[in-house]
A and B are shown apart, each in its own frame.
With several copies, the nearest count.
Chain A
Amino acid sequence: MRVLEAEAAVAEYYTPGSTLGVGGMQLAAAPMTLVWEVVRRRIPVGRLVTSPSASIQADLLIAAGLVSEILSPYVGFEYLGLAPAYRRAVESGDLRVLEIDEGSLTHALWAGGGGIPFVPAPPGLDLTDIPEVDPEMFRRVTDPFTGEERWAVASLRPDTVFLACAVADEAGNVAFDRFPYTDRLMALAARRVVVQVEELVPAGALSDRAPGATLPAFLVDAVVLAPGGCRPTGFPGRYAPDDEALGAYLAAARDPERLAGYLAEHGGGGER
Chain B
Amino acid sequence: MSEWSITELMAVVMAREFRDGEIVVMGAVPALPMAACRLARATHAPRLEFIVGGSGTVSPEPPSLPLGSCGGDLAPAATTLPLPDVVLLEGRGDAFDVFCAGGLQIDAHGNCNLICVGSWDRPKLRGPGTVGLPFLPNTRRSILYTQSHSPRTLVERVDFVSGPGHPAGPDEARPYRKEGPSLVVTPLATFDFSSEGRMRIRTVHPGVRHDEVLAATGFEPAPGPEPGETPPPTDEELAILRSFDPAGILRR
Question: In this assembly, does A219 line the interface, its C-beta being within 8 Å of a C-beta of chain B?
Answer: yes
List, in ascending order, chain B residues with CB within 8 A of A112's CB: 92
Q: Which residues of B contact A (CB under 8 A)?
A: 23, 28-29, 31, 49, 53-56, 58, 67-85, 87-95, 114-115, 120-138, 160-164, 175-176
The answer to the question of A129 belonging to the interface, with a C-beta cut-off of 8 Å to chain B, is yes
Decide: A26 near B53, CB < 8 A? Known: A127-B161, A203-B78, A211-B80: yes
Q: Is the CB of A91 within 8 A of B124?
A: yes
Q: Contacts of A129 on B, CB cut-off 8 Å?
A: 115, 120, 160-162
Also in contact, A53 and B28, with CB within 8 A (given A74-B129, A90-B126, A124-B136) = yes
Tell me if B126 and A53 are in contact (CB < 8 A). no
B71 touches A125 (CB 8 A): no
Shortest CB–CB separation between residue B115 and chain A, in angstroms?
Answer: 7
Q: Which residue from chain B places its CB closest to the CB of A176 in the assembled complex?
A: B82
Cα–Cα distance between A237 and B153 once the two chains are bound (Å): 37
Which range holds the interface residue count of chain A?
35 or more
Identify 19 new A-B residue pairs, CB closer than 8 A, beyond the known A27-B70, A212-B82: A26-B68, A28-B54, A73-B130, A76-B28, A101-B134, A102-B131, A103-B134, A106-B84, A114-B87, A114-B92, A115-B93, A129-B161, A130-B162, A207-B76, A211-B85, A217-B49, A236-B70, A240-B71, A240-B73
Taking a contact as CB atoms closer than 8 A, the residue among B72, B89, B130 that contacts A235 in the complex is B72
Say yes or no: A216-B54 contact (C-beta < 8 A), given A27-B70, A129-B160, A181-B70: no
Bound-complex Cα distance A267 to B76 (A)? 35
Tell whether, in the assembled complex, residue B128 and residue A216 are in contact, meaning their CB atoms are under 8 Å apart.
Answer: no
Does A110 touch B at the CB level, under 8 Å?
yes
Decide if A124 touches B138 in the complex (CB within 8 Å).
yes
Instruction: State whether A240 and B72 are in contact (beta carbons under 8 Å apart), knowing that A74-B130, A215-B79 are contacts in the complex.
Output: yes
- Complex CA–CA separation, A26 to B28 (angstroms): 8
Provided the pairs A25-B83, A78-B28 are in contact, do residues A130 and B72 lie with their beta carbons within 8 angstroms?
no
Contact partners of B83 in chain A: CB under 8 A = 25, 52, 106, 179-182
B58 contact set on A, CB distance < 8 A: 216, 218
